[in-house]
Amino acid sequence: GDSVTQMEGPVTLSEEAFLTINCTYTATGYPSLFWYVQYPGEGLQLLLKATKADDKGSNKGFEATYRKETTSFHLEKGSVQVSDSAVYFCALNAGGTSYGKLTFGQGTILTVHP
């Protein structure tokens, strides 16, 4: 079945450091890929998405590129801020009969220190 694997956290960085959170997936067909962020005490919010191979999703300085050849969708940010501290989830939607349904990775806790 479909699955998403994220790098284990927690990840602790200093402000302005470079961030990479790895995400790989297994799916049949051509899934859409997402990164969600969950700030403390809040619900999940869509951070960015990509719907086909080689697409790059970007938002708030975060980027991720849909790599079909490596089945990956790694999240990157060039300079993190304290306000980026949150839990980040990689997810996929396989489409077809699983229309709308999301399969999530295990989440990665990011803590950014001043």
Partner 1 sequence: GAVVSQHPSRVICKSGTSVKIECRSLDFQATTMFWYRQFPKQSLMLMATSNEGSKATYEQGVEKDKFLINHASLTLSTLTVTSAHPEDSSFYICSAYLGNEQFFGPGTRLTVL
- Residues within the interface to partner 1 (CB under 8 A): 36, 41-46, 89, 100-107
How near is the Cβ of 78 to partner 1 at its closest, in Å? 26
Environment class of residue 50 by beta-carbon count within 10 Å: exposed (0-12), middle (13-18) or buried (19+)?
A: buried
CB of 18 to partner 1, least distance (A): 25
CB closer to partner 1, 74 vs 108: 108
CB of 53 to partner 1, least distance (A): 18
Closest CA to 27 of 90, 87, 107, 109: 90
Residues 110 and 17 sit within 8 Å (Cβ to Cβ)? no
Give the residue with the Cβ less far from partner 1, 29 or 114: 29
Nearest CB to partner 1, comparing residues 13 and 104 = 104
Give me the torsion for CA of 25, 96, 89, 62, rounded to 10°.
90
